Amino acid sequence: MKLPWWTLAPLPPDAAAGEAATARWNSLTKPPGSLGRLERAVTRLAAQQGRITPTLARVHIVVFAGDHGVVQRGVSAYPQVVTSQMLANFAGGGAAIAVLARQLGAELTIVDVGSVHAAHPLPGVLDRRVAHGTADFTQAPAMTAAQTEA
């Protein structure tokens, strides 16, 4: 009887595959390390999969959105009402991330974790608000400890 994959211990990373992936990145026409975290993430994935060019069988993109309270200080390019409009645009497929998800064949989940003006229920958006925006962190902590653990 073959055991389900999730019951098996993970294999250790393949250092040689990770090093080969790094060498491949460095051989491309670009300054070494210029893609920053992406290069490091792909190198880790290559080592985990034991392949120089790792693959992703299932991609799931999750967008978390909310409003910050420091907007009251005039530091934001847009008013908070734009967040609810963006949530609807994400879910409706009009935002760049939705187009990217479609092109990748990726599942896209949109989660409202703290918008001020969202009109829920909003089709395609999970309402997981822990508050209606954060507090102005120049005056008090942006979130309580309980909110960060919710």
Per-residue pLDDT reduced to its tens digit, 44-63: 999 999 999 999 888 999 99
The answer on 72 and 43 residing in a single domain is: no
Q: Would you state the pLDDT for residue 63? A: 95
| Whether residue 1 has pLDDT greater than 80 | no
Mind listing the pLDDT tens digit for each residue in 71-129? 888 888 888 888 989 999 999 999 999 999 999 899 999 999 999 987 778 889 999 99
The answer on 71 and 141 residing in a single domain is: yes
Q: Would you state the pLDDT for residue 6? A: 80
> What order of strands is seen across the sheet that includes strand 125-127?
60-66, 107-114, 125-127
The answer on 100 and 34 residing in a single domain is: no
Q: Which residue has the tokens 């935002």?
A: 95
Q: Would you state the pLDDT for residue 56? A: 86
pTM beyond 0.75 = no
Mean pLDDT of all residues in 61-66: 94
Mind listing the pLDDT tens digit for each residue in 9-31? 888 999 999 999 999 988 988 88
Give the whole-angstrom CA distance, residue 143 versus residue 5: 39
How many domains does the chain fold into? 2
Handedness of CA 87, 88, 91, 92 (dihedral sign): negative
The answer on 141 and 68 residing in a single domain is: yes
Q: Would you state the pLDDT for residue 44? A: 94
Residue 42, domain extent: 11-49
Assess if residue 22 is contained within a domain: yes
DSSP string, 56-74: -S--EEEEEEE--GGGGGT
